[in-house]
Structure 1
Amino acid sequence: MRTLRKRLSYANVASSLALFLAISGGTAMAAATISSSDIKTHAVTGSKIAKNAVTKSKIKANSVGASEIQENSITSAQVQSGSLQASDFASGQLPAGPQGPAGPPGSGAGISGVVSPGGTLVYGTGVAAVSVGGAGVYTVSFNQNVSQCPAVASIGGYQLGGNTASASNGGTVSLQPGGNVSTTAAQQITFITRDLNGVNAPLPFHFGVFCS
């Protein structure tokens, strides 16, 4: 030990201290003084970053947009199951689903008809019978309850076999639902036709009944 101390000199101590500072303190000082402003733009590329070194906690919120993501780089394996909703897709991107089963027919489908001046049902559907109660008074009986169904009617001629079977010079038609006083009345509507002078007259008319 005495021999080692005798051989130590100022040069030995100084060189050892310099080596120590270079290895420890110098490195620490250099690391502490490097900031983002000291790094050249685009100097740090993907090849210089260790795999999985950048986690979501190191990424600023809303800093990664569509322009920063390489095309086709995100596949279904990178998307959390159930995280995407229909609102996340552009219009037309989602395929249409299969067509559903047909619903039941409406109860009032096809209730209409044309009645001649003499009270004959020329053509129509959903009609059980037509009766004449006087000049221009026609009671139409239907196959269902129509007491709560809107109905319309208009004066008009008609054709049979391509030929005009009954023409009309105009007039008016009003209607009176039978109401719910009885089952029979609930299935009836009375139509009253009048000429241009407002007098009851036998005229051809068309009607339609709309039940939901």
Structure 2
Amino acid sequence: MPGGPLPQAPPLPGYGVPGGPQDQLAGRLARLGAGILDSILLGILAMPAALAAIRWDKMQESIDSGEPVTNPMDLYNIPVLLAGYAVVFVVGFAYYTVLHVKWGQTLGKKAFGIRVVKAADRSAITWGQAFARQGFVYAIAIVTLVLNFLTPAAGILGLVGLLDNAWILWDERRQAVHDKVAGTMVMKATPWTPNPYARPPGKI
């Protein structure tokens, strides 16, 4: 109609209108920040295990003799190191799994205002999805760790873990590979978006 308002341009593919479904997806930088914060927290937990495994006597011998250690693994008590890693892996697995099921958020995700939900209907994820999500991530980490003990060349498997997380860079719904495996996605957790993990007062 002459003199009427101009029609709005259609939204760009993959973005949606402001406030639409695509606008509610967690930002890539927010996911990165949350992941870094969670890694720092678990790294602090792992530090005592790593320090306990160091063979300080071997390190002192190398310093006193002036001869460099040719194999860095000689500086570690391998059984103690593996036991420490096992404890950290179990605690870390529980950290991600339990917090995702109960609140959809780890401490890192809470700090950056994002949460994990079902990709199908954006409801709270199940225990099975939480196990699948973290199991995929940890399977890659464990295989890489074990093979690194056998040959340094296996470090290239670390690229698989990078690809898993890098998938959000080009995926339409910003899902990592572990999200696709578990059927989950990560959304913004703003005060105006529904919280599928909300419970009535008095219930934990």
Compute the TM-score of the two structures, normalised by the length of structure 2: 0.17
Pair member with larger Rg: 1
Higher RCO (Cα < 8 Å, 6 or more apart):
2
Higher strand share: 1
What is the TM-score with the length of structure 1 in the denominator? 0.17
